[in-house]
Structure 1
Amino acid sequence: MSRFASLAELRAACLDLPGGHEAAAAVARREARLTKPPGSLGRLEEAVAWLAAWQGRNPPSLGRVEIMVFAGNHGVTAQGVSAYPPEVTAQMVANFASGGAAINQLAREACAELRVVALSLDEPTADFTEGPAMSEAEFLDAVSAGYEDVSDAPDLVVLGEMGIGNTTAAAALAGALFGGGARFAGTGTGVDGEGLARKRAAIEAALARHANVLNDPLRAAGALGGRELAAILGACLAARKKRVPVLLDGMVSTAAVAPLKALRGDALDHAWAGHVSAEAGHRLLLQELGMRPLLDLGMRLGEGSGAAVAVLVLRAALACHTGMATFEEAHVSDKGT
């Protein structure tokens, strides 16, 4: 049985969100006494305060980092929107299981636990150019799967995905939420010019077909998204309820959680963008959401890979905050003294 019995119940959960903790203030006080000019570590300083605000600890911890990769298949691939066939989704899930993917290597280097959740890969969503991608029940089930899969005590959750055709779904959902039609469409897995034209046409057709639900972020997510996008939304919501900070990966993961922001302006305060993808629409989407990515490395793999690299940056930030001496401890003269 779905945790969320109706869209109304899910909507209520999306609107009833806890705030952060006051631990960030204590972090700022220590940061001001460390042996460096104020602000000289830039966003590394902000990162520690953000972690503390959502973990409620000073200092925060990265002892338990979980990378969650959700996988789903999409009926819109029938429109020729991807350079790869749909069976690649299941094949890559098997590759994750055997340790052969990029995310396996990055998770190990980031000292993170990798969990892969496959969602009905033998039952793709419907082609959303012809009808809703998911029924209300299917959407709620996928959201609930993501919500329930967030464990009770992680220090940080990284959200990633795998799904042939899902950049088309992500671009369509972004277009539904922020307007502009197919402006969020990119080459995804590497389609050529004709493939990109088909992708844009599919997005425009879907937005026209589902125009009556585009003013409702959750109904739009059901009509245009995918099971893995819905699960990412659920996982991000669960993390907020548990006051766990979240790192988002690329275009798909960001689009997946965008309905939360559309429903409540501060709904993603616990979430940071790990990186900006080379996928064309991701930078545009981050701008719409008011998010600043930690990294810009030209990555576009998905799998949570960009955000996994960003975990290393967070570890560097935390090491500086906890390991550096204060002016008093190091007997170093402070500014003006």
Structure 2
Amino acid sequence: MSSLNLDDFTDLIERPDGGVRRDAEARRERQVVPPGALGRLDELGEWLAAAQGAVPVRPVERPRVVLFAGDHGIAELGVSARPAGSARELVRAVLEGGSAVSVLARRLGVPVRVVDMALDCEPEALPAEVGGHRVRRGSGRIDVADALSIEEAEAAFRAGVAVADEEADAGTDLVVLGDISVGGTTPAAVLVAALCGTDASVVTGRGGRAIDDLAWMRKCAAIRDALRRARPVLGDQLQLLATVGGADLAAMTGFLLQCAVRKTPVILDGVVAAACALVGQRIAFRAPDWWLAGHASGEPAQAKALDRMAIEPLVDQGVKVGEGLGGLLALPLVQAAASLAAELPEVAEVKPEEAEKDEDEAFVEGAGERE
């Protein structure tokens, strides 16, 4: 049995400061650009002020991309366009700067951190700082077996909590959360379907590399079979992650919850992050107030999860690559909202004596016109 008490997060997580948000809204009403004229940027600036507990809002100066990595046994069934066990190649591309997220992160000046939770390779195949939290090699085939033991699920969850603490202690002021996985969208879809009470076909997407119809059918069948295994453990979120999740998903769930405890805002990337957020909402209902959805990935399970949490994606550019790229695309919007909220000048208040002078001048001019 697990010694981890998830109920503690309900007590530890507070909502972003409502009083500060009202102060931010009041300040926004005094600024030279009319309220509402900046659209959703107004809402983002006020949300960030509440998360920071500061008016005017502080700029986002130390963001970081955090990517949890793992291989999933379900990929053996051909549910992914990539071969099973090949996530280490994706990790290596990120570390060497050749991936899409690496390119954009360089352009934006944002560091990228990769955390190996369950890659199907020898630990020494990657740098030591990547593998310090690894729980196991690969996750189990969830259509017929558990992804993890309950002890492994707890270890992965605690690793995610530890990474969140490390980032908060290092001064990270906003996180873009994503995953690097092969087969990861399948357990994500299972979690969403289980928690939303929907059928497998409703949540089965085609992944980052757009699988063909036959692979989609295999994926849908795998999700259906895993759903049968998930439903009996819906009341125990850690057991759910052990049964049909994976080490990377368990770690991301712990990470998200601890970021909310530490009051660190998070931009969610794709369907895997959204599924973990949905599990996190079941554990602590206030936690989603600390999260934004970076983009719409086109995965039906992501749309279902975000709708359930009432979180609207910031951008929709049809990006399906994963690995934090879509979430990182939204970061400049958040930074722009912070700058506008903090730096737009307020309308100067007119002094009473100036107002009287203006009224006298208007009266004299009016009298002159009548003459």
Q: Same fold (TM over 0.5)?
A: yes
1:19 paired to 2:37: no
1:273 paired residue number: 293
1:295 paired residue number: 315
How far the C-alpha of 1:294 sits from its partner, in A, is: 0.8
1:240 paired residue number: 260
How far the C-alpha of 1:80 sits from its partner, in A, is: 1.4
2:110 paired residue number: 112
Using the size of structure 1 for normalisation, the TM-score is 0.92
Q: What letter corresponds to residue 21 of structure 2 in structure 1?
A: A
Matched residue SS, 1:119? strand
Residue of 197, 202, 205 corresponding to 1:179: 197
Residue of 170, 180, 184 corresponding to 1:166: 184
Check conservation: 2:296, 2:318, Cα contact below 8 A: yes
Q: What letter corresponds to residue 179 of structure 1 in structure 2?
A: G
1:317 paired to 2:331: no
How far the C-alpha of 1:280 sits from its partner, in A, is: 2.8
Change (3 A) 1:329 1:105: farther
1:130 paired residue number: 144
Check conservation: 1:260, 1:267, Cα contact below 8 A: yes
Change (3 A) 1:330 1:161: farther
Q: What letter corresponds to residue 139 of structure 1 in structure 2?
A: A
Check conservation: 1:177, 1:217, Cα contact below 8 A: no
Residue of 81, 86, 100 corresponding to 1:88: 86
2:26 paired residue number: 29
In the alignment, structure 2 segments of 5+ residues that lack a partner are: 121-136, 352-371
Distance 1:13 1:231 in 2: 15
Check conservation: 1:187, 1:280, Cα contact below 8 A: no
In the alignment, structure 1 segments of 5+ residues that lack a partner are: 332-337
1:190 paired to 2:207: no
- Give RMSD over aligned pairs: 1.9
Q: What letter corresponds to residue 148 of structure 1 in structure 2?
A: A
How far the C-alpha of 1:15 sits from its partner, in A, is: 5.0
1:41 paired residue number: 38
1:335 paired residue number: none
Check conservation: 2:10, 2:285, Cα contact below 8 A: no
Matched residue SS, 1:268? helix
Check conservation: 1:172, 1:181, Cα contact below 8 A: no
Using the size of structure 2 for normalisation, the TM-score is 0.84
Deviates more, 1:252-261 or 1:17-26: 17-26
Change (3 A) 1:47 1:280: same
Aligned length: 327
Q: What letter corresponds to residue 64 of structure 2 in structure 1?
A: E
Change (3 A) 1:327 1:92: same
CA offsets 1:311-330 (integer angstroms, 9 cap, x no match):
01011112212222222189
Check conservation: 2:76, 2:84, Cα contact below 8 A: no
Distance 1:141 1:280 in 2: 30
Check conservation: 2:87, 2:182, Cα contact below 8 A: yes
Distance 1:282 1:200 in 2: 15
How far the C-alpha of 1:8 sits from its partner, in A, is: 4.4
4+ residue segments displaced more than 6 Å: none
1:260 paired to 2:260: no
Residue of 171, 174, 193 corresponding to 1:156: 174
1:334 paired residue number: none
Q: What letter corresponds to residue 60 of structure 2 in structure 1?
A: L
Change (3 A) 1:157 1:37: same
Check conservation: 1:24, 1:53, Cα contact below 8 A: yes
**Percent of pairs with identical residues:** 35
